[in-house]
Chain A
Amino acid sequence: MRKKVLLKDIVKAVNGKVLHQGDCDYVRWVVSSGLMSDVLTTVEEEILLLSSLTTTQVVRTADMVGAHAILLACGKPISPDTVALAADLDITIISCEMPVFETGHYLSSLFFEE
């Protein structure tokens, strides 16, 4: 089983902002894609969905795969609808300024270091 990575460590690593704090405080995997169908093919559980899209459908997709958290990169403006839906579904939603690949770089050190 992959190790647990705490969301608060993720927030620190990417200099993120928590827009809604959900029930779960850790993840084991990161799934990143700009295509929702890609995300829907994953079989992993307890994931962090990393995306540069900020629509409500990102939150819907995260919910369908039972994601614990969503990290919206690129510092794009995030509509209140997106945050409200995440709050409704009680999924943690975090935003950060860095682009997706850079965010991924900082995350990988958290997931792979011993």
Chain B
Amino acid sequence: MPHRFPLLSEESSDKTPSLTMEIIFRLKVKDAMMTNLRTANKKDTFRVIQKVMRNNDISGVPILEDNRLVGMVSVSDIINALDRGYVEESVEPYMTKQLIVLEDDMPLSFAVSYYNKYPYRRFPVINKNKEFVGVLTTKDVLSTILNEMNNEITLLESQIFHDKVELPNQIIKEYIIKQFDFENAGHASFRLKKLLKEKEVSRKIIRRASVAAYEMEINVAIHSNGGKISFILEENSITIITKDTGPGIKDVAQVIEEGYSTANDWIRSLGFGAGMGIPNTKRVSDEFKIESEMGKGTTVKSVIFLEDTDEGE
């Protein structure tokens, strides 16, 4: 069976939110399938299997021989057997033998494409050694995806400030920064620049705030597991805060030094990793603070007064 990643359907896949795509690529068939299922032997009669179905409230029974899947008997096979009078016979000659199976290591996206391709609502699952390990139904797929989305959304929500109440004369904006998201990194800083322009803040201050925000935003994208950036605009100041979820900085004093960087070659090839970001930010800030705890995360705070002082550049 080919192990390429199939698309859900040609047109829908690029409209599907990336989180959803990520989930169905990340989850495996084995994460969703039902295990510990009732199985039967090919010598069993339809009558015996009908009882197994009724007692366990299931609509299909895999037929095994030495852990190998050799066939499948469904409710409609039982109905046919009743209809045509062979219900007391062994299932072997009648059971479905041409089975379409999934492998337990396949991504769930693969299974979803099977549901598009075949008329079945249930697929037997085998492992690498071709042993029967479970069954995947549409219901399993749905509940697993829903469950995972729920977890992801809870996580995303936890990354958003809860006390986002604006006081009078205060504007608060927040943006999520994803790890290694070079496509969107800088977007939040662009929004800040726009906001400050609208509020007719002086060009010099806008430039300082933009530099601080951009360096801070990039640092979260390239050095952390992801986090958020917040802007608090008040009458006399703009405060920029980044908060991430790890890995943290071992020695905060060290990263304030010009030229210190842990960036790898890949990051350098993108034009970052000169070890100037934090010194730059500090230089353009009137107040600057960095706090970090290993394993927990890093918080960086920059305050720039709107009235041009001689401090910070």
Binding site for B on A (CB under 8 A): 34-38, 40-41, 43, 45, 51, 53, 55-58, 60-61, 63-66, 81, 89
Contacts and interface: CB of A to CB of B under 8 A. Distances in A.
A-side interface mostly: helix
B193 A41 contact: no
Given A60-B189, A61-B186, A61-B214, 14 more contacts: A37-B215, A37-B274, A38-B276, A40-B211, A43-B313, A53-B270, A56-B183, A57-B272, A60-B185, A60-B186, A60-B190, A61-B271, A64-B214, A81-B183
A81 B276 CA distance: 27
A37 B276 contact: yes
Contacts of B211: 40, 64-65
Interface string B271-292: 1111111001001000000000
A65 B190 CA distance: 11
Nearest to A66: B207
B186 A57 contact: yes
Contacts of A55: 182, 270-271
Interface residues of B, number: 25
A83 B283 CA distance: 31
B64 to A, nearest CB: 53
B12 to A, nearest CB: 23
B43 interface: no
B299 interface: no
Contacts of A66: 203, 207
B14 to A, nearest CB: 15
A65 B214 CA distance: 10
A45 B280 CA distance: 17
Contact of A40 (B190, B214, B270): B214
